[in-house]
Structure 1
């Protein structure tokens, strides 16, 4: 399925008017199916959908690692990602009972919003990142982001694992993180010393996705929410916002950032 389609529109340029073809990003309702049971639905852009399903289940702790996965497939007819895996039954029970609609665009759910009950480990990575290098990475953030360049209508996430990086693009910001994580994990990457960079705000569910996957640094060009900061501080995640030009706000985990 193509992630874009072309439609005819009327465009005004100052006093000039014309009919042109415009490229729009495609939006679908995607079902996530784990062991033949529907976990939930989300609005998504039809790219990297298998990675999206894997990243979502990892972020929710419904599966704990790549080795638990037996098969992943996308069914275009039913618009569903079907995953066969050894499921985390405790997390699945909590997910079914405690799920809430998250604040990101699109529509999805998470059970990982309670600061006291969040089932995650303290991040112990000793990796360090130079502030100037983070600024450089942010200045190049939208390079190699094909959908954004064509449509200007998607969020982006990049996860940097050593010399490799993985891109997720989607109409929903939380999907971009799951896509990038899913692509990295399916490629055998260890996320322990990785840096995750996102295009939008650092709300609680975005921060939780980094924490649940053991990522040590999360950076955005925009702001975090109060709960996002509290979660980052509790689990020792380095959280950085307003990465613009040479500026950077560090809300937690300053020890991983150096001049």
Structure 2
């Protein structure tokens, strides 16, 4: 399935109007099935859908180790990703009973929002990150973002590990993170040695996804929420916002940033 389609629109430019072809991003409802049981559904852009499902289940701690995944396949006829894996039943029960509709665009749920009950470990990474490198990568953030360049209608996440990066593009920002994480995990990357950049706000669900996957640094050119900062501080995540030009606000874990 193509992630874009073309339609004819009427364009106004000053006092003139004319018909042109316009490229739009496609939006679908994706279902996730784990061991033949429907876990949920989300609105998504039809790219990297298997990676999206895997990243989502890892971020929710429903799958605790990528090695527990036996099979994963996207079915285009049913618009579903079917995964066979060892499941963390406690996390699965929490999602079913305490699922919260998150604040990101689209509609998705998470059980990993409450600061007191969040089942995660403090990030132990000894990685250090140069401020100038963060600024450089942010200045080049939208390069190699094919869907954004074509439509201007998607969020982006980039997960940098070593000399590689894994990109996720989607109408929903939380989906971009899951896609990037899914790609990295399937590629055998060590998430604890990388850093994540996102295009939008650093709300609690974005921060939780970094924490649950032990990613030591999360960066955006926009602002965090108060709960996002509290979660980052509790779990030793380095959280940076307003990364614009040479400027950077560090809300948590400043010891990992050097000049």
TM bracket (short chain): over 0.9
Match of 2:67?
A: 67
Structure 2: stretches of 5+ with no match in the other structure: none
Q: Confirm or deny that 1:219 pairs with 2:219.
A: yes
Match of 1:90?
A: 90
Q: Residue 91 of structure 1: CA displacement?
A: 1.0
Match of 1:208?
A: 208
Q: Distance in 2 between matches of 1:108 and 1:65?
A: 22
Matches within 5 A, 1:115-134: 115-134=115-134
Q: Residue 148 of structure 1: CA displacement?
A: 0.2
Q: Distance in 2 between matches of 1:66 and 1:72?
A: 11
Match of 1:5?
A: 5
Q: Distance in 2 between matches of 1:40 and 1:109?
A: 8
Q: Confirm or deny that 1:29 pairs with 2:7.
A: no
Q: Residue 17 of structure 1: CA displacement?
A: 1.2
Q: Distance in 2 between matches of 1:10 and 1:43?
A: 27
**How many residue pairs are counted as aligned between the two chains?**
259
Q: Residue 14 of structure 1: CA displacement?
A: 1.2
Match of 2:183?
A: 183
TM-score for both structures, normalised by structure 1? 0.99
Match of 1:192?
A: 192
Match of 1:135?
A: 135
Listed one character per residue, the Cα deviations across residues 108-137 of structure 1 (whole Å, up to 9, x for unaligned) are 000000101111110011101111110000
Match of 2:242?
A: 242
Q: Residue 13 of structure 1: CA displacement?
A: 1.3
Listed one character per residue, the Cα deviations across residues 231-259 of structure 1 (whole Å, up to 9, x for unaligned) are 00000000000001111000000001011
Q: Residue 66 of structure 1: CA displacement?
A: 1.2
Q: Distance in 1 between matches of 2:156 and 2:81?
A: 21
Q: For 2:174, what is the secondary structure of its paired residue? A: helix
Match of 1:113?
A: 113
Listed one character per residue, the Cα deviations across residues 59-98 of structure 1 (whole Å, up to 9, x for unaligned) are 0000012100000001111111110000011111111111
Q: Residue 16 of structure 1: CA displacement?
A: 1.9
Match of 2:156?
A: 156
Q: For 1:192, what is the secondary structure of its paired residue? A: helix
Match of 2:147?
A: 147
Match of 1:232?
A: 232
Q: Distance in 2 between matches of 1:65 and 1:28?
A: 28
Please list every run of at least 4 consecutive aligned residues from structure 1 whose deviation after the TM superposition is greater than 3 angstroms: none
Q: Distance in 2 between matches of 1:130 and 1:190?
A: 19
Q: For 2:165, what is the secondary structure of its paired residue? A: strand
Q: Confirm or deny that 1:19 pairs with 2:27.
A: no
Q: Distance in 1 between matches of 2:156 and 2:176?
A: 6
Over the aligned positions, Cα root-mean-square deviation in angstroms equals: 0.5
Q: For 1:135, what is the secondary structure of its paired residue? A: helix
Q: Distance in 2 between matches of 1:16 and 1:184?
A: 48
Structure 1: stretches of 5+ with no match in the other structure: none
